[in-house]
Amino acid sequence: MHARKTTTKGSPDQLGKAKQVIESQLIPAAGSLPGFKGAYWLADPETGAGLAFTFYDTKQSLEDSAQAATKLRGDTTQQIGADVVSVEEYEVVADTGQKVHKDASHVRVAQFEFGPAKIEDGISMLKQFVLPNAQKLPGFVGGFWLADRASGKGVGVTLFDSKENVVATREQANKIRTEGASRIGAPIAEFKEYEVLTRAETPAGATAR
C-alpha cells in the first residue's frame, strides 16, 4: 500500500469550513479515484497547520491519481484560504492493519531520516520495536509508518482515542522514540500532535502489503 502526505498552512478560524468542504466535496471526489483506500485530515487548532494522508492500494494507483489529486487539493485550499506547503509520496512499510479508525480523535506524528543505507534496518526496527511498544500505550487505537526507500525518509503516525491519552503518553512515547533512534543510529524528530479533523474510512480488507 502507498500513501500521499500533504502538509498545509491555514487559519485556525477556517477549520470548521475546511471540515465542511472536505466532507461534502473532497471525500466524495477522492473516493471515486481508482485504488483509493481511505484518508485522514489532521489539524493543529492553535496554528491552523494541517496534514492529510491519503491511501492507495498500489504505487501505480498513487501515481495515476496525481493529476486529479492536484486539482482537488487546489480547489479545496482555495476555498478555505490555505496554502499547500509540501506533497510527499511514500510506501506504507508498517501498520496495525486497518488504516482509518473511527475512534481515533488525536494523533502523534514523527518524521524520521534513516538514510538510504539504513532504511531497511530502520523499517525492521519500526516493525519489531516501535510498533509493538506503541500498541501498549493507553488509548492507542492504531498506527501507520511510511517510508521513501530511495531517500531514507519517512513519517510515523500513532492514533489515540482522546487528547487526554495523547498527553498522558508523551513521556512513554518519547522513550520509545529515543530508544528506537539509538537502535538504528539515526534521528527520529520530536513529535507533533494534531486533532483528527475528519476522515474517509478504509474499505474492508485494505491492509498493507
Count of C-beta atoms within a 10 Å radius of residue 182 = 10
**Sequence ranges of the domains in the chain:** 2-200
Q: What pLDDT does residue 207 have?
A: 36
User: How many whole angstroms separate alpha carbon 46 and alpha carbon 67?
Assistant: 31
**Does 205 score more than 50 pLDDT?**
no
Do you know the residue count of the chain?
209
The domain 2-200 is classified under which CATH number: 3.40.50.300, 3.40.1410.10, 3.90.199.10, 3.30.70.100? 3.30.70.100
CA 2 to chain centre: 11
Across 57-66, 94-103, 140-149, 192-201, least confident range? 94-103
